[in-house]
Amino acid sequence: MLALAAGLGMMQIITRFVLQTPVEWSEVLIRFSLIWMVFLGIPAAFRQGAMVSVDVLHRLSPPAVRRILDVMVFAVTVVLLAVMIVWGWDYARRGSVQSVIGLEGVSMFWAYLSMPVGALFCVPALVGYLIDPRDTELEAAQ
């Protein structure tokens, strides 16, 4: 997605400043690819433990308390992800009547769908982290 966004950005620069005929749809596709990249990258961060723990509490706690903290963070995060899935799906469904400026044939549903899809992919990554913690972020910080 990042390569797509970079390629479209270069195309936009060339068509706008060199050829003097900008293409409107490239900016929209750059935005969409960045949004999808973020929401599809978040599960990898959850799996590595990069976004799951509260660093200071995790470092200062004994191992037994760390596990309790992990379970508490897991529970709160699952609730947040459930809200993102339900509300994101509703938002995407409601946005399906809108068309994208610059891409009139494309519905905004596809842009808004990134939120529930990304949150849905986060759930197995979060379960995987709870079962087999990989605190690469915490270990790198110490």
Tokens of 128: 């995987």
pLDDT of 115 reads 93
Q: How far is CA 17 from the centre of its chain?
A: 32
47 secondary structure, DSSP code: H
pLDDT of 85 reads 96
Phi, psi angles (nearest 5°) of residue 108: -65, -10
User: Residues 28, 102: contact at Cβ < 8 Å?
Assistant: yes
Instruction: Provide the residue-wise pLDDT of the chain in tens; the chain has 142 residues.
Output: 889 989 989 998 899 888 888 888 888 889 889 999 999 999 988 888 776 566 777 778 888 888 888 888 889 999 999 999 999 999 999 988 888 777 778 888 988 999 999 999 999 998 988 888 776 555 555 5
With residue 105 as reference, give the H or E element that holds it.
Answer: strand 103-107
pLDDT of 120 reads 95
pLDDT of 37 reads 93
Q: Which residues contact 51 (CB under 8 A, 6 or more apart)?
A: 42, 45
**What CA–CA distances, in Å, run from 52 to 76, 89, 99, 114?**
10, 23, 36, 20
Give the whole-angstrom CA distance, residue 90 versus residue 70: 30
Tokens of 56: 């200071």
pLDDT of 16 reads 87
